[in-house]
Structure 1
Amino acid sequence: MSILVLFFFIFSTSFLFVSGQNLSAYEVLQKNNLPRGILPHGVTKYDLNQKTGYFKVFFNSTCSFPIDSYKVKYQSKISGYLRTGRVRQLQGVSVKVLFFWVHIEEVYRDDDDIDFSVGVASEEFSVRNFERSPQCGCGFDCYRPVSSI
């Protein structure tokens, strides 16, 4: 009987570990009270250390797109530390302000707003603007033909 209990315990903990690994990067964001749209479409894989919150997200190539009057660029690998409602020490994401590219260092949720910080300054947007993920090249304003099927 104790062997059966041991087998059940091993099987159930293995299942929980595997099912946790099957979450997409977008689902991990949502689980941490952040909108999926802070990551563009095209994540090929990600790594997340559950204890420290350190993550790496991978894309096939760099990705840039407009958001309002800004242009945003994601490198093929981004990283940082994920906590509930916050990404700190973000690496690999930058925004063009006037003529200069500056690194976005932190993203955090403040009630119904998302703040993107470049260190000394930040810009606030409504969370609703990030309910879906932007696409490389055209961002949130992409034209998608309606399928006839």
Structure 2
Amino acid sequence: MSYLLTLLLSVFLLSQSLPITSSAAPLTAYEALESYDFPAGLLPVGVTGYTLNEETGEFEAYLSETCSYTVQGYNLKYKSTISGVISTDKLTNLKGVSVKVLFFWLDIVEVSRDGNQLDLSVGIISAGFDISGFIESPQCGCGFDCNEIGRVEIGEDENKDLRSSL
């Protein structure tokens, strides 16, 4: 009997000292975006990592270098570090993403989702876009014009032109 008790106690103590591993892999930056009800295409292809404080929503996403491309006539630029605060359907205090309007680069400071509409704000003005334009992630340098595979087309009438909002 004491042998059985010793064996059970040994197994219990051994099991307590072993590290517990989770079978679930950590989320990618794209999956983390989707967990807050945003499409993955808000980030370009090539995010190398990210940090997220789930209590405050503060995040940073990392690219290996700055990234720029043109989509639907808009020139977009991402710094190598993008930061902000994320909550369901809302990105605020965004830093590191800008859009060229006429001759000026303006920082996109907020993104919000309302149904199938994404509103991108540069502070004093914002423009709404159909979410279907953000399902795929664009590639740095060429956006969706790198090849025909995975290319997303959005009709001009589905988007508000940010330039006409000025």
For normalisation by structure 1, the TM-score amounts to 0.84
Structure number having the greater strand percentage: 1
Specify the alignment match of 1:79 in structure 2.
Answer: 83
Identity %, equivalent residues: 46
Specify the alignment match of 2:61 in structure 1.
Answer: 57
Matched, 1:124 2:140: no
Matched, 1:107 2:111: yes
Specify the alignment match of 1:27 in structure 2.
Answer: 31
Specify the alignment match of 2:164 in structure 1.
Answer: none
User: Tell me, which stretches of 5 or more residues in structure 1 are unaligned?
Assistant: none
Q: Describe the superposition over 1:76-96 as per-residue Cα deviations: whole angstroms up to 9, x where unpaired.
A: 001000101111000000000
Tell which has more relative contact order, 1 or 2 (C-alpha 8 A, sep 6+).
1
Matched, 1:15 2:19: no
* 1:91 pairs with one of 95, 103, 106: 95
Distance 1:77 1:32 in 2: 20
Q: Describe the superposition over 1:20-63 as per-residue Cα deviations: whole angstroms up to 9, x where unpaired.
A: 6x100000011110000000000001000111100000001000
The Cα of 1:140 is off from its aligned counterpart by: 2.1
Matched, 1:69 2:88: no
Alpha-carbon RMSD across the aligned residues, in angstroms, is 2.1
Moved over 6 A (4+): none
Distance 1:72 1:140 in 2: 13
Specify the alignment match of 1:40 in structure 2.
Answer: 44
The Cα of 1:144 is off from its aligned counterpart by: 5.3
Distance 1:87 1:35 in 2: 12
User: Tell me, which stretches of 5 or more residues in structure 2 are unaligned?
Assistant: 1-7, 150-166
Secondary structure of the 2:133 match is: helix
**Aligned residue pairs, count:** 138
Which entry has the higher C-alpha Rg, 1 or 2? 2
The Cα of 1:138 is off from its aligned counterpart by: 1.3
Distance 1:125 1:140 in 2: 17
For normalisation by structure 2, the TM-score amounts to 0.76
